[in-house]
A and B are shown apart, each in its own frame.
Chain A
Amino acid sequence: MDVKFTRRDFLKLSIGSLVLSSLGINLEPVKAYAKELKIKNAKETTTICPYCSVGCGIIVYSKGGKVVNTEGDPDHVISRGKLCPKGASLYQLANNPTRLLKPLYRAPYSDKWKEVSWDWALDRIAKLVKKTRDKYFIYKNEKGQVVNRVEAIAHVGSAALDNEECYILQKFLRALGIVYIEHQARI
């Protein structure tokens, strides 16, 4: 909001204050409950809680690209502003000093985690998926019917996936020949 103060407004205010103060009315603000509301003038972005499949609505308040607060969205049809403890802690997802910022890798038989780059981690995952798929790909079943499937890899999806993400994942997994496609909410 753009508030413009003209000279005329200023004069009006000053005269008003003068009159009030001459009447002996205390113009000092009521003792401050000090802090300014931390979400004042913050940008509001609506989102869906990423945890379970209920899909509660959340408002993310940000200032200058930094998340300053998250809380339930009172206008959301599912949750009406209510959140469980996990959803209520969403602020921590963006602002937590212990949050992991890089992939960690624990080599087979190692007892230590080491930081690796995203490129390295994704390459390794891709290589291992290919290796396993090549090794265990089943062209035909016992009856000689063409099945083209991989039973050595399984996939567990998250409850927080949206329709479009599920669609892409299904395409990808079916293309690999994976048949064990599960969902977190069924475990």
Chain B
Amino acid sequence: MGRKALLITPELCIGCRACQVACKSWNNLPAEKTKNNGTHENPPDLSGYTYVKIRFIEKEVKGEVKWLFVRQSCMHCGEPACVQVCPVGAMQKDPETGIVFYDKSICIGCQACRSACPFDVPRYDKEGKISKCYMCIDRVKAGLEPACAKTCPTGAIKFGERDELIAQAKAEGFKVLYGEKELGGLGVIFALNREPAYYNLVENPKAPEKVVALGEMLKILVAKGIPINNSIIKEFLS
């Protein structure tokens, strides 16, 4: 089993959000209060109970509104800063598939992973434990597709071997492959025809420089039994 990836093609996405529903269904996640922010985008943000969300981006093209649907979820970085920073090893990267997953039973809820994440993805459940997309590693290990990729009716989310998906997207003539090289190669790759910023994707994402040092510091704090305050983390990184 080589490195796995999700290939996202915003141009194929129709914004039906079956992925959001399938994700919630597989993970038994409760519904969340929705909010009218002027678009059809909902729930308002990723949360400990919403692992994947489709952004509804409105662009004006020749006087008409054009809708862009872009997936927002964990990017499963090749060099995940969250794994480097986690002081207790709750956040892990699967060496086989490259999936960044976590063990809630170890998590101490220090929220260092959110501070370290270049995409601001990690969220926390009601108990304060890490809760995010884990690319359905339980399904992948059993030879199944992640729930979102399986349900996607248009093929805007494709799951497979990372190398094959990249080759396929290139063969189809997409100009930009966001995530091919970024941060050691992302596990979620976007096939685009314009610059990533147009799709509200972070251009040249970088993990905070002091991530490794922060991880070491947090490890010492944990070893000494000193409670970690999130404000210390923020101050250290600023």
A residues contacting B by CB (< 8 A) are 30-38, 40, 69-72, 74, 79, 81-85, 87-92
- The CA of A44 and the CA of B208, in the complex, are separated in Å by 47
17 contacts between A and B (CB under 8 A): A30-B95, A33-B134, A33-B138, A34-B103, A37-B139, A40-B142, A71-B26, A71-B147, A71-B151, A79-B153, A82-B153, A85-B18, A88-B18, A88-B21, A88-B25, A89-B25, A92-B25
The answer to whether B22 and A83 have CB atoms under 8 Å apart is: yes
Cβ of A32: which chain B residues have Cβ within 8 Å of it? 103
Q: A71-B22, A89-B25 are in contact. List 9 more A-B contacts (CB 8 A).
A: A34-B103, A34-B105, A37-B138, A37-B142, A69-B26, A71-B150, A82-B151, A83-B153, A89-B21
Cβ of B134: which chain A residues have Cβ within 8 Å of it? 33
Nearest 9 CB-CB pairs, A to B? A88-B21, A85-B21, A82-B153, A88-B22, A85-B18, A33-B137, A83-B151, A88-B18, A91-B25
Cβ of A40: which chain B residues have Cβ within 8 Å of it? 142
B residues contacting A by CB (< 8 A) are 16-18, 20-22, 25-26, 92, 94-95, 101, 103, 105, 134, 137-139, 141-142, 147, 150-153
Shortest Cβ gap from B140 to chain A (Å): 9
Shortest Cβ gap from B155 to chain A (Å): 9
Cβ of A33: which chain B residues have Cβ within 8 Å of it? 94, 101, 134, 137-138, 141
Cβ of B22: which chain A residues have Cβ within 8 Å of it? 71, 83, 88
The answer to whether A72 and B138 have CB atoms under 8 Å apart is: no
The answer to whether A85 and B16 have CB atoms under 8 Å apart is: yes
- The CA of A38 and the CA of B142, in the complex, are separated in Å by 11
- The CA of A8 and the CA of B22, in the complex, are separated in Å by 46
Q: Are A31 and B92 CB-contacts (below 8 A) given A85-B21, A88-B25? A: yes
Cβ of B16: which chain A residues have Cβ within 8 Å of it? 84-85
Cβ of A74: which chain B residues have Cβ within 8 Å of it? 150
- The CA of A30 and the CA of B1, in the complex, are separated in Å by 15
Select which of A36, A37, A69 is within 8 A of B25 by beta carbon.
A69
Cβ of B25: which chain A residues have Cβ within 8 Å of it? 69-71, 88-92
- The CA of A70 and the CA of B134, in the complex, are separated in Å by 20
Shortest Cβ gap from A49 to chain B (Å): 12
Cβ of B139: which chain A residues have Cβ within 8 Å of it? 37
Cβ of B95: which chain A residues have Cβ within 8 Å of it? 30
Cβ of B20: which chain A residues have Cβ within 8 Å of it? 85
- The CA of A31 and the CA of B137, in the complex, are separated in Å by 13
- The CA of A141 and the CA of B226, in the complex, are separated in Å by 90
Shortest Cβ gap from A75 to chain B (Å): 13
